[in-house]
Structure 1
Amino acid sequence: MAGGEAARGPRESLRVGPGTAAGAGRVSEGAKGSVLILGATSLIGRATAAAFAREGYDLMLASPGGPELEHVTADVAIRTGAAVVSLELDARDTASHAGFVRRAVEAAGGELSGAVLNFGLGGDAVCAREDMSHAEEILRVNFVGAASVLGHLANYFEQRRRGFIIGVSSVAGDRGRQSNYVYGSAKAGLSAFLQGLRNRLHHAGVTVVTVKPGFIDTRLTYGKVSPKMAAAPERVGAAIVKAVKKRRSVVYVPGYWRLIMMIIKAIPEPVFKRLNL
């Protein structure tokens, strides 16, 4: 454990279910504030949580309920020494999202500093071509569910007139390709939604950052990409924290993906449609 983490002794861990009133929640003494991590059980989610904990924030970890969320919550609390609260979130159940955001704010003691939307569903690109129900599932989680939660968070931060929202999108959304156009179109929609929120919330003093990872060493890339081409999840977590500090708008991780996608987007359509990408 790093010295900075060891300096902060272990703090409380609390689980907040769908029907729980979390009025007892609070920002712990000495913490900068509370950050909500959506999709916290993923490798990127865990890395992002650890990165914010090192900056001195308490954590609200959200994902579908179950043993994995409980284990991740306990593990993050032990490893970082941060105060950690877990909340159940069903990305597909948009009707529950307003209540979810209220519970998150209550669990944070009435004030969230920021939120990171990281959940997603890669799905099976081949299956999504033939099975429209699977394609709909990919779109529902990656765009409809994400936009729903982001909309409620945007309303909260706009009224508060400070804070930050981070949306983890993907380079896959920069241009439609035959290999993953269903997933890519959902991420393209998410990137456009975040861009609109950034425009809307700028005058309210709220920072909105779009993070576009390339190949990351997670379950989505296992067996598909050479480890040399896949960046560690910790790199994404560090980039997210840096983007908040510098009030960035769009961040590619690793940074060279900005150039790669610039080249891909510049290919003329008559040429691009002939490529096997």
Structure 2
Amino acid sequence: MKNILIIGAYSAIASATARMWAEKKARFFLVGRDGEKLKQTGEDLAARGATSFYTHTMDVNDTDAHALMLEKAFFELGQVDLVLLAHGTLPDQLACEGDVKVTMEALATNGMSTLSLLTAISPMMEKQGSGCMAVISSVAALRGRPSNYVYGSAKALVETFCEGLRARLFQSGVHLLLIRPGFVDTPMTKDLSLPGLLLVTPERVAKDIIRAVDNKKETIFTPWFWRWIMLIIRSIPSPLFKRFRSYAVEF
């Protein structure tokens, strides 16, 4: 039985993954901004086999609230076997370009809040000497593109931080998994024109996450073919790449 802390618990990918863990009789501590959605999520997990669930309402950008949330999570669950950081937004790139405040809010939600949470969680995981921290990033972190470079920059910040943190945690028995989804059919992407052949369900991503946690992978692309797509995109020389503004699908 796993004791699982999920931040951003009612996001599409987190919900799909949690439902699969619930079938294995997991216990959950669910965190998000909307208390009613958290309750609905928990009740759904209980109906699917979860042995218990606890909820905690919190805005991830309120970094002063992180310590209290974690104190409650570790108290209720005892040992935390798995932490899934799945919160985030997809900012409007054009709005970011025209408003510094919007840009900074996007960077805070998708980048700085994750760094704050990981900084607070890591010593607690080190102290217990076991467990996994799984962090949802994005393929957008791997190259800045005109259509989403604010979002991509936030995720790139998370990725560099996680690389250093993984090395720090290596001797402690705590594992860190970085998850790079491509195009996923979620409420966050519903208004985007995404190529259908590359679009997958949250359930597909959830299966990849569970497999990666079980196999102690360090980094995954999900679906797998994004590893090769991003290899090609990253290999395009900068003088040519900057001319591809028309190649502006979001990811």
Relative to the length of structure 1, the TM-score reads 0.85
2:211 to 223, 229, 242: 242
Match of residue 91, structure 1, among 48, 60, 63: 60
After TM superposition, give the deviation of residue 64 of structure 1 in Å: 1.0
State the Cα deviation string for residues 70-114 of structure 1 (Å, max 9, x = none). 222212211334322112221111111111111110111x21111
Aligned mates of 1:82, 1:272 — CA distance in 2? 51
Q: Does 1:220 align with 2:188?
A: yes
**1:44 and 2:13 matched:** yes
Secondary structure in structure 1 of the residue aligned to 2:188: coil
In 2: Cα distance, 1:130 partner to 1:163 partner: 42
Of the structure 1 ranges 231-240 and 220-229, higher mean CA displacement relative to structure 2 is found in 220-229
Structure 1 residue 56 displacement after superposition? 3.3
Q: Is the deviation greater in 252-261 or in 32-41?
A: 32-41
Match of 2:147 in 1: 179
Q: Conserved in 2, the CA contact under 8 Å of 1:120 and 1:142?
A: yes
- Alpha carbons 1:217, 1:227 under 8 Å: kept: no
Residue 56 of structure 1 aligns to a residue in which SS? coil
Aligned-residue Cα RMSD (Å) equals 1.3
Q: Which amino acid letter does the alignment assign opposite residue 213 of structure 1?
A: P
**Gap regions ≥5 residues in structure 2:** none
Shift of 1:228: 3.8
- The partner residue of 1:190 within 154, 158, 169 is 158
Whether the 8 Å contact between 1:97 and 1:152 is mirrored in structure 2 is yes
**CA offset at residue 227 of structure 1?**
4.1
CA distance in structure 2 between the partners assigned to 1:69 and 1:134 by the alignment: 26
Output aligned runs, 1:200-211, within 5 Å.
Answer: 200-211=168-179
1:123-142 matches, cutoff 5 A: 123-142=91-110
Name the stretch that deviates more: 202-211 or 224-233: 224-233
CA distance in 1, matches of 2:109, 2:58: 12
Q: CA deviation at 1:63?
A: 0.6
State how far apart, in whole Å, the 2-side matches of 1:137 and 1:98 are: 21
Q: Which residue of 2 aligns with 1:75?
A: 44
SS in 2 for 1:128: helix
* AA of the residue aligned to 1:129: E
Q: Return the alpha-carbon distance in structure 1 between the equivalents of residues 50 and 18 of structure 2.
A: 12
Offset, 1:51: 2.0
Percent identity reads 35
CA deviation string 1:201-232 (max 9, x = no partner): 11111110000000001012213224442111
State the one-letter code of the partner of 2:238: E
Q: Residues 133-154 of structure 1, C-alpha deviation per residue, up to 9 Å, x if partnerless? A: 1111110011111111111111
Offset, 1:181: 0.4
Task: For 2:147, give the aligned amino acid.
Answer: S
CA distance in 1, matches of 2:49, 2:91: 32
Aligned residues: 245
Q: Deviations over 1:106-130 (max 9, x none)?
A: 111x211110000001121111110
CA deviation string 1:23-75 (max 9, x = no partner): xxxxxxxxx23011111111111111112223332111111133222222212
CA-to-partner distance for each residue in 1:229-262, whole Å, 9 max, x for gaps? Answer: 2111011211111111111011001000011011
Residue type at the aligned position of 2:93: A
Q: Structure 1 stretches of 5 or more lacking a match?
A: 1-31
**Runs ≥4 residues deviating over 6 A:** none
Is contact 1:135–1:182 with CA below 8 Å preserved after alignment? yes
Q: Which amino acid aligns with 2:163?
A: Q
Provide the rounded CA distance (Å) in 2 between the counterparts of 1:103 and 1:69.
Answer: 16
